[in-house]
Amino acid sequence: MSAKIALVTGGAGGIGTEICRTLSREGHRVVTTCAPVFECPNLADWKKNMKAEGFDVPVFEADVADFESCRLAVEQIEKEVGPVDILVNCAGITRDSVLKKMTSDQWQQVLSVNLDSVFNMTRQVFPGMLDRGFGRIVNISSINGRKGQFGQANYSAAKAGMHGFTMAVAQEGIRKGVTVNTISPGYVATEMVKKIREDVLQSIIAQIPAGRLAEPWEIARVVAFLASEKSGFISGANIDINGGQFIH
């Protein structure tokens, strides 16, 4: 299989880091974007660790919530590395609150970082993928976009919206060799999940038939599968990876 250029947004996050490692091991040239404010306060350490592990993943600064920032970042990536063949929309944040206390800022931040970002980034790379006759777009959604979650009206709405985008754009891309798919992870052992209050987290784990959180590699390997040249007949799918927590 030929090596491709893969752009992973939020590549310094818990799932994103493992996606960068896995796609690199598959032989792809991986780059990531990062907005220091939201996604990667420990970026310097992340770069050092990845280098020590033998991964060369350049980081380009971009605020995924901002269209122009994404345009400039992709322009720079294409100039310095080459055209993007694989896009993994992985950047995401939580601002959990019950609706009766949720502020407009908490709503807007989650919708713009988790959902607007998918348009902002995909719009930059999609025309080139169509022209070249190959592309793989993988949107990292969530179990909570499938079933809704108490305290996550913002996050559940954004994550459900991602798959609406996937289904629409899959139809636009498939005849030109561009596939678009969603992955909906359940609760994964990342900093984002470890932030949940301990009693609440334990009650969530009790609802997972597998009896544990997922490991990030269990998500990343499915990204690599969908990104493969051989997965050209899979488009518009939403793949659940949730330990049996939500089956429908």
Catalytic machinery residues: 155
Closest to ligand CAA by CB, 32 vs 144, is: 144
Cα–Cα dist 120/90, whole Å: 13
Whose structure tokens read 């598959």?
26
Which two tokens mark 161? 């919206």
Q: Which stretch binds ligand CAA (CB under 6 A): 22-30, 72-80, 191-199, 223-231?
A: 191-199
* Residue 197 within binding range of ligand CAA, rule CB under 6 A: yes
Cα–Cα dist 148/135, whole Å: 30
* H/E element, 89: strand 86-89
* Residue 210 within binding range of ligand CAA, rule CB under 6 A: no
Q: Which of 149, 153, 75, 139 is nearest to 108 (CA)?
A: 153
Q: Which stretch binds ligand CAA (CB under 6 A): 5-13, 108-116, 189-197, 225-233?
A: 189-197
Cα–Cα dist 73/62, whole Å: 6
Contact characters 151-170, ligand CAA, x per CB under 6 A = xx--x---------------
* Residue 196 within binding range of ligand CAA, rule CB under 6 A: yes
Q: Which of 215, 201, 223, 202 is nearest to 243 (CA)?
A: 215
- Considering only 42, 68, 150, 212, the residue that binds ligand CAA (CB under 6 A) is 150
Contact residues toward ligand CAA (CB under 6 A) are 94, 96-98, 142-144, 149-152, 155, 187, 192-193, 196-197, 200, 204
